[in-house]
């Protein structure tokens, strides 16, 4: 039996990882630390609440972090401000949480002699790839972040590596492509599209709709992190992507419309956001070759399953899509 701390465990990927860990390692002691900001939702953990210890707190608060870290063997660090659009509106909170918060966690992990600190990051730290390029990012690709969000995540990645080089803290990092699946906050593209259609609203697509992404089902991401925790080499970084056909945002929107039985009149092209990256693509050969990981979930099949999840969990997303979220929605997705 070991004790694991999962930061940001009430968020989208974090809560899926908590569910994954409870199911696979029921004997472990699981501590979840989450500030419960707009994207953190205790309803995500309702089914496993009796299997975890939950601490509401800010990763920037050293006292809270020290308490949460007590006796912990392994840290899996998901907690982050993660939405590019929000980072454009208010970059300060992204720097505070993603950079300072990560440093506070690293310092506590060092003091507590944690055996493994795993940092969950994004492929967006590498910037963008030209639409006509066949390039895919590897662990050796240079960092060229283009938004306050990706810049703050790049900063956190560098801090994590610095704690390995300077203090010998046993760390690993994963940089993943875009995730999708249950509990995905409906400001992000796929759940926004699904829930809008369920409400009889159109899907907003940033012009011109040709932005390309590699979509990773969240359970495949969880299994990759699990393998890194078991087999990953301290100090190493592993890129995690689905490695299937990349899709444009317009293609994904049209797939969702078709799967849900609507016509293309439900598409709405809106003004683009500043500095919008045109293409992301990951080469996950290292984690496949060295650790034996591979994605198990086909994009189109699990896009349909994700749609079904939102249909069957209407109370969850209706509670989320209210209040301040609506003000934010109007600010960012009104036709321009």
Query: Are residue 164 and residue 276 in the same domain, yes or no?
Result: no
Per DSSP, 288 falls in state H
CATH, residue 280 = 3.90.25.10
Query: Are residue 194 and residue 229 in the same domain, yes or no?
Result: no
In a domain, 336, yes or no: no
Find tokens 């039996």 and name the residue. Answer: 1
Helix (H, G, I), strand (E, B) or coil at 96: helix
- pLDDT tens for each residue of 223-266: 999 999 999 999 999 999 997 788 999 999 999 999 999 999 99
Q: State the virtual CA torsion across 93, 217, 57, 118 in degrees, nearest 10.
A: -90
Query: Are residue 164 and residue 261 in the same domain, yes or no?
Result: no
Say how many domains are in the chain.
2
Query: Are residue 202 and residue 79 in the same domain, yes or no?
Result: no
**pLDDT recorded at residue 83:** 73
Residue 37 — pLDDT band, cuts 50, 70, 90? confident
Q: Do residues 197 and 266 make contact, with C-beta atoms less than 8 angstroms apart?
A: yes
Known catalytic residues are 123-124, 149
In a domain, 39, yes or no: yes
- pLDDT tens for each residue of 134-181: 999 999 999 999 999 999 999 999 999 999 999 999 999 999 999 999
**pLDDT recorded at residue 336:** 43
In a domain, 272, yes or no: yes
Q: How far apart are CA 296 and CA 294, in angstroms?
A: 6
């Amino acid at each position: 039996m070991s004790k694991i701390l999962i930061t940001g465990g009430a968020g989208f990927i974090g809560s899926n990882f908590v569910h994954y860990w409870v199911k696979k390692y029921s004997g472990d002691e699981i501590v979840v630390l989450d500030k419960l900001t707009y994207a953190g939702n205790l309803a995500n953990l309702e089914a496993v609440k009796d299997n975890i210890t939950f601490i509401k707190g800010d990763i920037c608060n050293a006292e809270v972090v020290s308490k949460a870290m007590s006796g912990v063997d392994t840290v899996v660090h998901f907690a982050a401000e993660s939405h590019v659009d929000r980072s454009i509106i208010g970059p300060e909170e992204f720097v505070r949480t993603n950079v300072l918060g990560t440093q506070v966690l690293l310092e506590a992990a060092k003091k507590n002699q944690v055996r493994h600190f795993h940092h969950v990051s994004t492929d967006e730290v590498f910037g963008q790839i030209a639409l006509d390029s066949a390039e895919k990012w590897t662990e050796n690709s240079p960092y060229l972040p283009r938004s306050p969000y990706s810049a703050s995540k790049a900063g956190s990645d560098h801090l994590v590596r610095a704690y390995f080089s300077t203090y010998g803290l046993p760390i690993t990092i994963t940089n993943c492509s875009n995730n999708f699946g249950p509990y995905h906050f409906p400001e992000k593209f796929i759940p926004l599209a699904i829930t809008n259609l369920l409400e009889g609203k159109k899907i907003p697509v940033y012009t011109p709709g040709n932005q390309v992404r590699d979509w990773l089902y969240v359970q495949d991401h969880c299994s990759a992190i699990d393998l890194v925790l078991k087999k990953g080499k301290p100090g190493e970084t592993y890129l995690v992507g689905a490695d299937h056909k990349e899709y444009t945002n317009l293609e994904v929107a049209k797939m969702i419309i078709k799967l849900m039985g609507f016509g293309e009149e439900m598409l709405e092209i809106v003004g683009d956001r500043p500095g919008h990256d045109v293409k992301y693509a990951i080469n996950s050969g290292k984690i496949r070759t060295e650790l034996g990981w591979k994605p198990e979930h086909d994009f189109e099949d699990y896009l349909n399953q994700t749609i079904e999840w939102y249909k069957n969990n209407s109370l969850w997303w209706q509670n989320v899509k209210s209040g301040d979220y609506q003000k934010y929605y109007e600010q960012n997705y009104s036709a321009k």
